[in-house]
Amino acid sequence: MRLTAVCDTSTEDTSESGGCRDDIGNGGLGDPSVTTATGRRSPVGLLPPPLLCQQQAQQHMPGYGEFPLYPVAQESVYETSARLLFMAVKWAKNLPSFSNLPFRDQVIILEETWSELFLLCAIQWCLPLEASPLFSPAEHAALALHNNGTPGGQQGQQQGQNHNSKAAAPLTDVRILQEVLARFRAIGVDPAEFACLKAILLFKADSRGLKDAHQVEALQDQAQLMLQQHVKTQHPTHPVRFGRLLLMLPSLRYVPAERVEALYFQRTIGNTPMEKLLCDMFKC
């Protein structure tokens, strides 16, 4: 089921009530338009500067001490995942350039990109931590044992063997994500770069069914230009950094969305479709 089938798409009105939309000022951007990589003129004001994106994201970023991430709190990994996903959805909604897109385009893009946005937010949240339980095979193995306890005796041994074989694939996924986290940590991605990378992921023009694919493409071009300019300004002695940052984005797809859902959300949402969870967060 597509997210558009879950959310009400009967109106194209994207105005927000109850403070959901948090407009960001467009001041200090200089020239009101820029030539994108595709040759189009794109209004720069549609995307806020990376530092403003960073400040906006921090408003919804859960603090490191806000809730525990230790083995004694078995639900903490799932609670953290839910909060990080909510933060990713909230970040997208609060971008005026995103909320000004046709409503159907918004939900299609969110459905296509939620997994990568969640992982990028999770990586950003985990970077300052010495240990990263969200990407720890040992932590997920402990959670699996806690969630799938088996009886003793011969029956328990047989069920335990079956459980071990079922747990092997998720633990492999966690190890892959652990390696992805290590790559981001090694390059030292800064908050402004994270903001630009999230925008590049969000504005995916090749998503099928978009009503305004050209505008989405222009926004992605603009996000890349902003990242390039930031890297050029902040890291002038590292000319290859921009390319390396872009080349790291495909690694967020090493683990498919359905397996990310099973790994971090299935115990929380049960049989509820992921689209329903996203829709509830989107309408908040």
CATH number, domain at 188?
1.10.565.10
Tell me how far the alpha carbon of residue 182 is from its chain's centroid.
Answer: 17
Q: Would you say residue 42 lies in a domain?
A: no
What is the residue type of 38? T
Whether the CB-CB separation of 78 and 268 falls below 8 Å is answered with yes
Domain count of the fold of the chain: 1
Q: What is the pLDDT along the chain (284 residues), one digit of tens a residue?
A: 555 555 654 444 444 333 333 332 332 222 333 344 444 433 334 455 554 455 444 444 444 344 344 433 445 888 899 999 999 999 999 999 999 999 999 999 999 999 999 999 999 998 877 677 788 776 666 666 555 544 444 544 555 544 555 556 678 899 999 999 999 999 999 999 999 999 999 999 888 899 999 999 999 999 999 999 999 999 999 999 999 999 999 999 999 999 999 999 988 888 888 888 898 888 87
Q: Would you say residue 41 lies in a domain?
A: no
Q: Would you say residue 96 lies in a domain?
A: yes
Q: Would you say residue 78 lies in a domain?
A: yes
Range of the domain at 57: 50-147+163-283
d(CA 33, CA 89): 27
Give the angle 165-273-6 at the CA atoms, nearest 5°. 160
* Contacts of 63 by beta carbon, 8 Å cutoff, 6+ apart: none
62 to 48, 185, 214: CA distances (angstroms): 22, 19, 34
Whether the CB-CB separation of 254 and 182 falls below 8 Å is answered with no
* pTM recorded for the entire structure: 0.72
Q: Would you say residue 67 lies in a domain?
A: yes
Q: Would you say residue 264 lies in a domain?
A: yes
**What are 249-256's contacts with CB under 8 Å, separation 24+?**
249/116, 249/197, 249/200, 249/201, 251/180, 251/183, 252/115, 252/116, 252/119, 252/120, 252/180, 252/201, 253/115, 253/116, 254/176, 254/177, 254/180, 255/119, 255/173, 255/176, 255/177, 256/115
Q: Would you say residue 60 lies in a domain?
A: yes
Q: Would you say residue 23 lies in a domain?
A: no
